Structure 1
């Protein structure tokens, strides 16, 4: 019997490799690189001598090497994201209540001062006889006011000025920021009649919930088209000390922050979706017509910028987004052209579907037997007829 042995192309011309024993196979370490086409190398072996203890985030578990060169690709460290600097405000500028007295105390002090002045006048004999109560002498000092009477006049007058001059009326939704010799002394949020030291400088701040509708502000969308945007801002003063003393004009600062946020948000999104004949949408298909998304982004930015000066922003919503006058007519023509093209495409698709359905039914039911030339002529006639009918219906 003849035994036939088959030879494979790999076995021809290659020396027989020595067989490994089981012990050698166990002791031999796992090969990291199998052949020249292998592209898997553990990352920890590449960076085990790296002195930087910070771990490098790499998305895949392995990195590839250039085929046939043995050179490993360089892994670029991601650039750190720098946060926007937050304005620093004097830590001493934190709202605290000021010391005030009830209004009755000021009224009582003023009345006492006036009474003291009258008594000093009577004591010096300077009080007219018509004003002097009956049964009382005209005065104790007939020679005129002396040092004692002048001292009484001064003390009583000062008491009257302090009593009546310190009276103030607190109103709901208003606060007084007090300062003495350039130093913050506290905030008064009380209502009604009260007595405040007349030597302090008072500055009234409106702490009610307020809204501000801006004038049309210029902006540019992601496609570079000039826009005019009107926003509605709902805000209030939360920390009166920082709003009054931490910035020169807190209302002007709020307006500047809104304009800056508009320029940062609107430049990331297009004004219109692609259906209007413009460029592609922004991230996740958002556009400036999505006022909710744009309003949320504006609110976050403005609230973060105004928080250090004691202003609390609740919402910043765009109420009107329109093209600038210099580009409004051109963009209107482009939008009309895009709508017309979309309408034509819809009509053409409907006509083609109707022609196809008509020809298919006629052929399947055996009503007509057409060759290629006749079929093309029928399709042409049906297309013209359907297009004419759709145009007449549209008119």
Structure 2
């Protein structure tokens, strides 16, 4: 048998009534000193009391009879079962697991630190009880293994692999979906249902974090410079065209080059430009 089987136990409240009646009859037998009645009532009391179980909400009882699996009780309330059954309690509540930050290599070989949060619960009590030795340790080890595989499947960002469609630092929905699918496949053998999984922490490893930050800053500066130059060229072109259309001034090629150079310096410079006012002729 490789799957969970549900059992319907007897009503425990009816058993409680029988318990009370057996106690009353036992007391009556003691008064009468009727040994047979005392023995029978004593056996009934022990059997009824031994078979009572309480199943709380979102919990279950796994029942064994001399090592053989007989079923699981997931109903809530007071019940009576065979007193010879061995019982093991398993919680069906949703639980969180946050993995430790582990150092792994991304697809491009860069060392990164990553941790994940896993929301899970027991789905199949038979598999939890008998397919794995310690399901809590199994979840921890399989989660770490899934995180290592996930990190090795995607680059950290687009700087190393510009053709990548999914990266760890940008496509969170796709990455979390891949992680959830990987964990669901790994934990299915243990009867664990993956409710949600997501990356909780992601960063470059300390030994390369500073270099990667400088690379990102340099890329941002280059992109900003490109945008500034593009805008400055447009402004210079517009200025020259407007001056020419309105016949304000006519430039030869040398003066046009000089004006373009000056305007580009003013528009693209990092520091504030300090103009020099010419109070003489244009040739001075």
TM-score of the superposed pair, with normalisation by structure 2: 0.82
Q: 1:371: how far off?
A: 4.2
Match of 1:345 in 2: 226
Match of 1:106 in 2: 15
- Counterpart CA distance in 2 for 1:109 and 1:93 is 37
Of residues 151, 157, 180, the one that matches 1:266 is 151
- Counterpart CA distance in 2 for 1:170 and 1:386 is 76
What is the RMSD computed on CA atoms of the aligned residues? 2.7
Specify whether residues 342 and 387 from structure 1 end up closer, same or farther in structure 2 by C-alpha distance, changes over 3 A only. Answer: same
Which structure 2 residues correspond to residues 53-72 of structure 1 after superposition, within 5 A?
Answer: none
Counterpart contact for 1:269–1:282, Cα < 8 Å: no
Q: Deviations over 1:106-163 (max 9, x none)?
A: 3234334434543443344xxxxxxxxxxxxxxxxxxxxxxx73x6544433322221
- Counterpart CA distance in 2 for 1:225 and 1:108 is 69
- Counterpart CA distance in 2 for 1:154 and 1:218 is 68
Counterpart contact for 1:218–1:227, Cα < 8 Å: yes
Of residues 126, 144, 153, the one that matches 1:241 is 126
Q: Deviations over 1:346-368 (max 9, x none)?
A: 22222233233333444565544
- Counterpart CA distance in 1 for 2:163 and 2:116 is 21
Counterpart contact for 1:93–1:245, Cα < 8 Å: no
- Counterpart CA distance in 1 for 2:202 and 2:209 is 12
Match of 1:292 in 2: 173
Number of matched residues?
272
- Counterpart CA distance in 2 for 1:160 and 1:102 is 16
Counterpart contact for 1:270–1:281, Cα < 8 Å: no
Q: Deviations over 1:93-114 (max 9, x none)?
A: 3111235211134323433443
The unaligned stretches of length 5 or more in structure 1 are 1-91, 125-147
The structure in which a higher percent of residues are helix is 2
2:238 maps to 1:357: yes
Match of 1:121 in 2: 30
Match of 2:188 in 1: 307
Q: Which moved more, 1:189-198 or 1:364-373?
A: 364-373
Match of 1:76 in 2: none
Of residues 127, 146, 161, the one that matches 2:46 is 161
Q: Deviations over 1:211-237 (max 9, x none)?
A: 434343433222222223332323332
Q: Max radius of gyration: which structure?
A: 1
The unaligned stretches of length 5 or more in structure 2 are 274-284
2:93 maps to 1:208: yes
- Counterpart CA distance in 2 for 1:113 and 1:93 is 41
Which structure 2 residues correspond to residues 16-95 of structure 1 after superposition, within 5 A?
Answer: 92-95=1-4
Match of 1:321 in 2: 202
Counterpart contact for 1:176–1:204, Cα < 8 Å: yes
2:264 maps to 1:379: no
The structure in which a higher percent of residues are strand is 2
Query: Tell me, what secondary structure is at the counterpart of 2:153?
Result: coil
Specify whether residues 198 and 326 from structure 1 end up closer, same or farther in structure 2 by C-alpha distance, changes over 3 A only. Answer: farther
- Counterpart CA distance in 2 for 1:282 and 1:216 is 28
Query: Tell me, what secondary structure is at the counterpart of 1:267?
Result: helix
Counterpart contact for 2:116–2:147, Cα < 8 Å: no
2:215 maps to 1:334: yes
2:160 maps to 1:279: yes
Q: Answer 1 or 2: higher relative contact order, Cα 8 Å, separation at least 6.
A: 2
